[in-house]
Amino acid sequence: MAVNNERAGSTPLIERRSIDYIPEAERHGRLFSQFTLWMGANLQITAIVTGALAVVLGGDVFWSLIGLLIGQLLGGGVMALHAAQGPKLGLPQMISSRVQFGVYGAAIPIVLVCLMYLGFTATGTVLSGQALGQLFNVSDSVGILIFASVIVLVTVLGYRVIHWIGRVASVVGVIAFVFLFWRLMSQTDVGALLQIRHFSWSSFLLAVSLAASWQIAFGPYVADYSRYLPSATSSVKTFFAAGAGSVIGAQVAMILGVFAAASADGQFAGHEVAYIVGLGGTGATAALLYFSIAFGKVTISTLNSYGSFMCIATIISGFKGHLTVTRMQRLVFVLFIVGAATLIALLGQHSFLGAFKSFILFLLAFFTPWSAINLVDYYCITRERYDVPALADPDGRYGRWNLLGISVYVFGVLVQLPFISTKFYTGPLVAALGDVDISWIIGLVLPAAVYYFCAKKWHSAVPDRLILPVEPNSTQQAKTSGAGRAAAQA
């Protein structure tokens, strides 16, 4: 632990790496920071609204809570399996997709991930703009611009500041949520709400899907925030640290959303932030709650913006070769990303709730197959034996385009189409299933099975061990990497 603290103390405030491999000498941090980061990222207003949707769209309190919990555990397990890859590979999550899709081919899911980040950043900015507008007595649009400025600053500073804000956001979030729960319990007959039970598969599975999609959406970037941990960090402990923080934080927030929507008598939709703050009171108390809402959104919105920056750099480096991102380039990327998200937020702020529900459910069609392929390959096919230097070489082990991974990914998207139910698109089998959207289950199970059996038969040569870049002044690392590469070439 002393070594970790020393490393952390010698690390500059502004992160100097982007999509580079993190050498062992620069590894730092503790597992607890994974827990606080993901708890802070989930104890926020958008998670409250997501939970509320289960009731707003027809579910009862009792079965909505159970459905949300099941979805958290299923989706949280997928998310945490991705988190465990970070310390072992020392790389951003989407770089590792080059193993399954090829150095160029990985750009296909990465582009879609960028769209996800833009959407989530935009929707979070809408809610934060409402909170800051009330706090400073300005319009929601001005509040959106204030919030966007803060996100730019934190994203440019990078990894260490993001983790620090995550720890503070966890404390602020716990205090705010305890207070809001206390106020809600004193104003609402919770027992009576729990007694109203009218189970339907469509409402129940909607709740499961809302929570599962919330968690799975973290998968494409969760390893970005665990990659600085020492490589000897236990994968199991990383799994539980990140997964528990995310699941607990999200479920607590969604429980509050369920009870708030159920007791709102139709006043929740369209006034989400004002209604939640109204539970706590007025005056100074309301001002503090508006601040906690805005601050809670800083963590997750920064994660989205930072992840988007990493994805853009990954796409460019795949076609251009090794890419060293300067601080000025980082600033330009971040300004572009946050600027685009802010524009979307300003244009769509008055139709937020319905658009958000459709957005997060439609996203599942594109990210569940990617998760299935990445996890099956990492844990069942290659079994953590990646050739990290080859990830930057289009002529190397993984090639430019991996037709197997790309084909299974396209299959995974297409096979979900008959089962999708959103405003964007409704599949032909949805009505026959009672308007239940089960596409995300299909998108996880079938691509995983197809990829496993195909990769077992046609997968390219897998190294005998994990091959890492040779680190300067590290004799042992050089020996390990050399032995691994020699074995792979033998």
How many residues can be counted in the chain? 490
Return the SS3 of 467: strand
> Which of the residue ranges 195-209, 252-266, 461-475 would you say has the lowest mean pLDDT?
461-475
CATH 2.120.10.30 fits 26-354, yes or no: no
CA distance 387 to 481: 9
Cβ-based neighbour number of residue 9 at 10 Å: 8
Q: Which burial class, exposed, middle or buried, applies to 428 when counting CB atoms under 10 A from its CB (0-12, 13-18, 19+)?
A: exposed
For residue 385, pLDDT over 80 is answered with: yes
The per-residue pLDDT for 405 is: 94
Question: Of the ranges 265-274, 399-408, 453-462, which is most confident?
Answer: 399-408
Tell whether the model's pLDDT for residue 411 goes beyond 60. Answer: yes
What percent of the chain has pLDDT above 70? 87
SS3 string, 222-273, reads HHHHCCCCCCCCCHHHHHHHHHHHHHHHHHHHHHHHHHHHHCCCCCCCCCHH
Residue 14: predicted pLDDT: 59
- pLDDT at position 475: 44
Q: Please state the φ and ψ torsions of residue 467, each to the nearest 5 degrees.
A: -105, 120
Torsion region of 12: left, alpha or beta (phi above 0 gives left; psi -120 to 50 gives alpha): beta
Instruction: Write the single-letter amino acid at 293.
Output: I
Q: What is the mean pLDDT of residues 277-300?
A: 78
Domain boundaries defined on the chain: 26-354
Q: What is the DSSP string of 278-319?
A: HHH-STHHHHHHHHHHHHHHHHHHHHHHHHHHHHHHHHHHHH
Residues 195-210 have pLDDT tens digits of 888 888 888 988 998 8
Q: How many CB atoms lie within 10 A of CB 319?
A: 12
What are the distances in angstroms from CA 80 to CA 92, 236, 275, 409? 14, 9, 33, 21
Contact 242, 35 (CB under 8 A): yes
Q: Which of 51, 352, 33 is nearest to 206 (CA)?
A: 51
Per-residue tokens: 74? 């299923």
Q: 151-161, pLDDT tens digit by residue?
A: 888 888 776 78
Query: Pick the residue with more confidence: 341 or 76?
Result: 76
The per-residue DSSP string of 6-61 comes to: HHHHHS-SS---SSS---GGG----HHHHHHHHHHHHSSHHHHHHHHHHHHTT--H
Structure tokens at 29: 């941090």
Q: For residues 411-439, give the mean pLDDT.
A: 84
Q: Is it the case that residue 283 has pLDDT exceeding 80?
A: no
For residue 97, what are its two tokens? 């997709």
Confidence class for position 454, pLDDT limits 50, 70, 90 = very high
Give the burial class of 308: count Cβ atoms within 10 A of its Cβ; 0-12 exposed, 13-18 middle, 19 or more buried: buried
Residue 476 pLDDT exceeds 70: no
- Please report the pLDDT score of residue 357 as a whole number: 57
| Burial of 450: CB neighbours in 10 Å, binned 0-12, 13-18, 19+ | buried
Which has more pLDDT, 422 or 211? 211
Residue range 302-355, pLDDT digits in tens: 877 877 777 788 887 777 766 566 777 778 888 888 888 888 888 877 766 556
Whether the pLDDT of residue 488 is over 50: the answer is: no
C-alpha span between 161 and 129 (Å, rounded): 22
Regarding predicted confidence, which is higher, 352 or 276?
A: 276
Lowest mean pLDDT among 11-25, 89-103, 114-128, 336-350: 11-25
Measuring CA to CA, how many Å separate 461 from each of 91, 373, 411?
Answer: 21, 17, 24
Q: Write down the pLDDT at residue 1.
A: 44
Give the integer Cα–Cα distance in Å for 162 and 174: 18
pLDDT at residue 484, as a whole number: 39
What's the rounded Cα separation, in Å, for the pair 298 and 406?
35
Sheet strands (E) in 131-184: none
Amino acid 209: pLDDT: 87
As given in the structure block, the two tokens for residue 441 are 């289950």
Q: What is the pLDDT of residue 170?
A: 83
Those residues with Cβ within 8 angstroms of residue 188's Cβ, 6 or more apart along the chain or in another chain: 259, 263
pLDDT at 446 over 90: yes
Identify the residue with better confidence: 378 or 10.
378
Work out the number of other CB atoms within 10 angstroms of the CB of residue 449. 13
Residue type, 115: L
Most trustworthy range by pLDDT among 85-99, 269-283, 351-365: 85-99
Q: What is the predicted pLDDT for the residue at 478?
A: 41
- Mean pLDDT, rounded, of the chain: 82
Cα–Cα–Cα angle for 69, 305, 23, rounded to 5 degrees? 95
